[in-house]
Structure 1
């Protein structure tokens, strides 16, 4: 609970500062927003690591193949990173580049998901009566 209050506080202060700075130096306002966004992301890296570690422990205790769990975690990471980059490029006024980043993220996710979908379909086919 405390973490989100700190993050929201930092974000609001940065937003107000950016609005004030934007009138005089729009480039500095943009850099401030990017810096704060990256700082928030870096602040959360430890929690992200803990989540990944717990999911891997659960998968190990459930005797799941870690390759599939790691692939799913990578897919989630790609989605977050692509969204983060897309928002930054939108903030910079580059909507076209943001759309390309989103498209690239979706295509990479689909490419990574194919092996999992293949195993899932094969498992369903094996379960069906002949």
Structure 2
């Protein structure tokens, strides 16, 4: 039950941060950031398992791997941008967090262009001339 460990770590860190925040706000922020990174690293193995299953399914379905890799990169950008924005927001920098989120959305849009192009081309081919 990994979720119990993750929630336990989160609750413990929250209590420590609330205690430390009064005296050393910078140390409290570093503790928060470190805990977030630790949880993320704990989940890397799970993420790689999911990616492997998706790659196997794509091969069995005869789907072009370029599309799957692009979608996985898009998902990765979304998660990383959200994670970074949350850490920056925890530090009280809402403006910078918003810029990180905007950057993530723009990068996702850029990466989605090849997939959108293929979808549009397919739809156009299906339409009667």
**Alignment partner, residue 94 of structure 2:** 95
What corresponds to 2:61 in structure 1? 62
- Name the TM-score, length of structure 1 as normaliser: 0.98
Could you say which residue in structure 2 is the equivalent of 1:48?
A: 47
Deviation of 1:28 after TM superposition, in Å, equals 0.6
Count residues with an aligned counterpart: 129
CA distance in 2, matches of 1:52, 1:37: 22
After TM superposition, the score normalised by the length of structure 2 is 0.98
Equivalent position of 1:72 in the other structure: 71
Query: In structure 1, what is the equivalent of residue 119 of structure 2?
Result: 120
Runs of 5+ consecutive residues of structure 1 not aligned to the other structure: none
Displacement of 1:128 after TM fit?
Answer: 1.5
Question: What is the alpha-carbon distance in structure 1 between the residues aligned to residue 99 and residue 70 of structure 2?
Answer: 23
Unaligned runs of 5+ in 2: none
